Amino acid sequence: MRLEKNAAHSIASAYIELLKPNIMSLVLVSTVLGYFLGGDGIDDYSKLLITLLGTALTAGGAGTLNHYLERDADKLMQRTKNRPLPSGLIPPGNALLFGILLVFLGTNILVTQINLLTGFLSILTVFLYVLVYTPLKKITWLNTPIGSIPGALPPMGGWAAATGHLEPGAWIIFAIMFLWQHPHFYAIAWMCKDDYARANFKMLPVIEPDGKRTIRQIFWHLTLLVPVSVLLYVEGSSGMIYVVGVIILTSLFLLSALPLAKGKSVEGAKLLLKSSVIYLPLLLILIIVDKVL
């Protein structure tokens, strides 16, 4: 009986892993960000929760389909060889059906319970992430900027859920998320470049070992992030507390890339990655504080 329970627990944990919970959490934070800004606060919490449910299901489905498509490549990498599909814990066909079901359920919730625009943005995100970004990883280093497009759509989905349409502020949030992803994913690629090379993924740190272009890309996008983040104040979606706070926050994010630029080390990449991960929730907190005060 205990063996059966342990096996069931392992399989349940494996299905949860297919959802890519870490990525999902960032997607949900950015969705709340867009919802809060678009709705000028949160008046209807039930609507927000339904939006997050639909978004979580769709994001989990996209993550599962990514696992399915990259199952052979995952076998070649040390950090992914024990994932549910390459380890054989979950059959590929089961993962494919699970992913499709989640995308269908999530999109259906967003279309029927929220609005058509939110559902469209959700399915567009899945299409670009699964069918464009994922195969591009083996073709060109441009997979990162192209993949940053679907990664920047969730806050627009949150905005659309709150308002039913897209305003200039939604596009500014899209731009912030687009720029944020470059240092985030280049840091990961730097840390995992040996693994990526084994899987034949054309990440920028893999195809140019000296790291010069990677560093330039990181600093170019981080530098742009400072003025772009201020546009929310210029456009009128945020106040003075936000603009002062976001300049400080984004400048610190920029400074966190200096150790990587100087030492070109894994430790520097880890620092940049940590900074990128805490940036989004701090940005959300800053926006909430600005609205409340």
CB 247 within 8 Å of CB 230: yes
**Is 50 exceeded by the pLDDT of residue 269?**
yes
Q: Give the torsion sign (CA, 59, 60, 65, 69).
A: positive
CA distance linking residue 83 with residue 17, whole number of Å: 8
For 18, 97, 185, 222, the CA distances from 198, given in Å and listed in that order, are: 22, 28, 18, 29
pLDDT of residue 8: 46
Structure tokens given for 3: 């063996």
User: What's the predicted TM-score (pTM) here?
Assistant: 0.92
- For the domain made up of 1-164, the CATH class stated in words is mainly alpha
Share of the chain above pLDDT 90, in %: 88
**Is 70 exceeded by the pLDDT of residue 153?**
yes
State the average pLDDT over residues 3-16. 67
**Is 90 exceeded by the pLDDT of residue 146?**
yes
Outline which parts of the chain fall under CATH 1.10.357.140. 1-164
Write 272-276 long-range contacts (CB < 8 A, 24+): 272/183, 272/187, 272/218, 273/184, 273/187, 273/188, 273/191, 276/180, 276/183, 276/184, 276/187
Where is average pLDDT lowest: 1-5, 57-61, 284-288? Answer: 1-5
pLDDT of residue 107: 98
4: pLDDT confidence band, cut at 50, 70 and 90? Answer: very low
Q: pLDDT, tens digit, for every residue of 157-184?
A: 999 999 999 999 999 999 999 999 999 9
SS3 content of the chain, % helix, strand, coil (to 5): 80, 0, 20
Q: Which residues of 15-33 are buried (b: 16+ CB within 10 A; e: fewer)?
A: bebbbbeebbebbbbbbbb
Question: Alpha-carbon Rg of the chain, whole angstroms?
Answer: 19
The Cα angle at residue 145 between residues 135 and 86, in degrees rounded to 5: 35
Domain 167-293 belongs to what topology? Answer: Four Helix Bundle (Hemerythrin (Met), subunit A) (1.20.120)
Outline which parts of the chain fall under CATH 1.20.120. 167-293
263: pLDDT confidence band, cut at 50, 70 and 90? Answer: confident
Instruction: Give Cα 218 distance to the centre of its chain.
Output: 17
CA distance linking residue 125 with residue 214, whole number of Å: 25
Q: pLDDT, tens digit, for every residue of 18-32?
A: 999 999 999 999 999
**Is 70 exceeded by the pLDDT of residue 1?**
no
Average pLDDT over all residues of the chain: 93
pLDDT of residue 44: 86
Q: What is the DSSP string of 65-105?
A: HHHHHTHHHHHHSTTTTTSTTTTTSS-HHHHHHHHHHHHHH
Nearest CA-CA partner of 215 in 173, 257, 179: 257
